[in-house]
Amino acid sequence: MNILAKEEGKDFLEENLIMEISSQIVDEQLGLLSQKLKFSAAAVDLERMNFAREKLNYLQQQYVMQQIFTGKRQPSGITGSFLKLNKKLQILQSSSSEALSMLDEENEEIEEIEEEETCAELQDDAWLGFFKGFKILSEDEELCLSENKQCIDISDYDPKALDSLLHAGVRCFTFDLFKGTGLENQKNILRLRENELSISRESGFPVMTTLFGMLSPRLQFTGILEPADAIISLEKGHALILTYRREYSIHSSATIVFVNARFLIDDCKVNDFILIGPTIQVKIEAIIKSELHCTVMEPGLLRSRLPVRFPGRCNRTSVSLEELEDITFAREVGVQVLISYTPGNRQYYGELNKTLSLLNCEDIRLGTRIVINEIKEEYDEDLNWIADSYDVFLLELTMTQRPDECRDREISEISTDILELSSGVVNFIKKLYDMRKPIILNASLIAERRLFVHPSCLNEIFFYPDRYLFRNGRTENSFYFLFLQNAYFKQLASIQFARPFYDKSLTGSDTMARSCVATAEENDAQAFIVYSITPDMSITISHFRPSAPIVFVTDIRSASDYISMYHNIILLYYSSQDTDINHAESSYRGLVYGLAYLKSRRIISKDKKVVLVYTYEEGAKFPDRYTTFKFPATDFAENLKKVLKCILLWSRVNLGVEEKRTCALSV
């Protein structure tokens, strides 16, 4: 027994020692990896901007609240520090990016644009006299219509357009890590954060967006050519180098091509054949410094992101080194949501979670990408565990009638097709919707009029998705789709809301959220304001797909990592550092801050209604009260206090449950 105990103790010590050694090795390797890939510069700049953002948010909040309650246009206590911080922010932004070194010129351009908009409004008013019952739509109004439905890929978007997108209200962004973790992606992320700071300074309220990354695919593809839509003809005998060096991921050419296959190259041998795309075959002549020097044996056309097939002996079960780099990069720049290129099998999902745990990234939400019109009915059973396992879902569409690439000929006419989904996919999307997991749909093919939605798939395309992803800057296509989606959405929402409802929640929060949405539709409310610590009620209201925006007021800053992926939710950070005030006063100030934000954004005006959702009982985790508030012309803070006192008085008189929860007061 003693011998067995000693052996068990020895094994336990060895296991602990191995774990310590492995953790030390991992930390050292991550440090070397960060230095090699030059993550540290971007991480330091982002950390400095986050610190500046916290200072700015606190001072802006103090400025707004003091302006509301005292009526002073320039509160004396914070004006000096507010101006000093603005100067520091200008220095910070100019040092971290070349784009914001021209802030003065941008401000002049903004003033010129505002003058042009004022003239355009006057012209519109004149024209409206001739066409009664019609409204002249401008580009800005189109943007405002779609502000809370878009998700923009900043990897492909014009950096100059980010400012206008944030001004219009877009709060969900993504970037493609297949294009590398190099300077381009780092610049895009820094530029987005800098624009957030810039617009926060202009508007007087914090601007916080959700940014998620798409992992490099474990499947092998060629890199992006220059330009991305280039087509290069490779003849027999042409010399070609296949490399894993990520600086070529967006700079591939006819002589050197990036392939995300670092963990497969070691298994390759001289004289092996590799297939690129449908026709190109290359033979490995030499392996020099883990780069494959090849000769083209079968000619063909080289394009961006062509599939690459390595010899069958290559090990494809381990996590790729590109994925490790992507996760490390995401951790350094503060991205908390990552999308896997494919759901894979249970073994792949388990390995990916183990990798996140090993890299101390347990808090990262893991999503997956699924091409929904490619799934065959025999794979329907796998959709159940995929829906249960992943947190976020990016739904993609593809053309079933593809060009005949095997013959390497170009088709001049753009092919079109009807989009139909299998019953398994329809049930899968409905299950994701019921589980309240974010659904993001890449609707580019529909926007380009290459796919036309079959009437049986309207809910899955136009109602269930929370956001719609657009990867290029062709705004005319996105406008077409978003107007189409808006028209279908109104019809589908009314049909869905008329169906019988069963509350599956344990606390009755579903019934309350549905009542909030019904009240908003009956009273034509312009927005919801939800003051809560946790985002659960905002997500539940979003589940019922209201047309009005949901302003989630909270002091939990980390909620911005994912909350804007949900339908119509806008995060408004409100710091509740004052611990001397009671729960009722804290709720009141949070709601007032939300109303001030809506007023500044011109979402509400005189006599417009807002649904206020808040927690009545101190210590409760979820909001348990809501009221309809009619926005007055003046003194909205004082009128809101009267409404809340009215509700408090009614609650003490022990009225019915519905009368406790609703109090509509016209002021």
Closest CA relative to residue 368, chosen from 395, 345, 335, 330: 395
pLDDT of residue 214: 94
Q: What are phi and psi of 222, to 5 degrees?
A: -75, 160
Q: What are phi and psi of 550, to 5 degrees?
A: -110, 110
3-state secondary structure 630-663: ECCCCCHHHHHHHHHHHHHHHHHCCCCHHHHHCC
Cα 569–chain centre separation: 12
pLDDT of residue 476: 63
What does pLDDT average to in each consecutive run of 10 residues of the chain (667 residues)?
40 37 49 53 70 74 75 44 50 47 46 51 49 51 60 78 84 90 79 88 88 91 90 95 91 94 87 94 93 95 94 71 89 91 89 89 92 82 92 92 47 70 93 96 92 94 94 70 91 91 87 94 94 93 94 88 93 78 85 91 89 84 88 85 70 45 39
* Amino acid (one-letter) located at 350: G
3-state secondary structure 305-343: CCEEECCCCCCCCCCCHHHHHHHHHHHHHCCCEEEECCC
pLDDT of residue 140: 43
Helix boundaries (H) for 301-452: 321-333, 346-358, 382-389, 423-434, 444-447
Pairing of strands 232-234, 300-302: antiparallel
pLDDT of residue 8: 40
Q: What are phi and psi of 35, to 5 degrees?
A: -65, -40
Q: Domain map of the chain by residue range?
A: 30-63+144-214, 231-309, 321-399+418-495, 509-649
pLDDT of residue 289: 86
pLDDT of residue 295: 97
The pTM of this model reads: 0.81
629 and 599 Cβ atoms separated by less than 8 Å: no
Tokens representing 591 are: 């709601």
Tokens representing 645 are: 């006192």
pLDDT of residue 508: 87
368: left (phi over 0), alpha (psi -120 to 50) or beta: beta
DSSP per residue, 504-528 = --SSSHHHHHHHHHHHHHHHT-SEE
CATH hierarchy code of domain 509-649: 3.40.1380.20
Q: How far apart are CA 224 and CA 221, in angstroms?
A: 9
Pairing of strands 210-214, 172-176: parallel
Residues sharing a CB contact under 8 Å with residue 299, sequence separation 6 or more, in sequence order: 233, 234, 235, 236, 238, 279, 280
Q: How far apart are CA 665 and CA 667, in angstroms?
A: 6
547 and 522 Cβ atoms separated by less than 8 Å: no
509 and 622 Cβ atoms separated by less than 8 Å: yes
Cα 107–chain centre separation: 28
CATH hierarchy code of domain 231-309: 2.40.33.10
pLDDT of residue 234: 95
611 and 516 Cβ atoms separated by less than 8 Å: yes
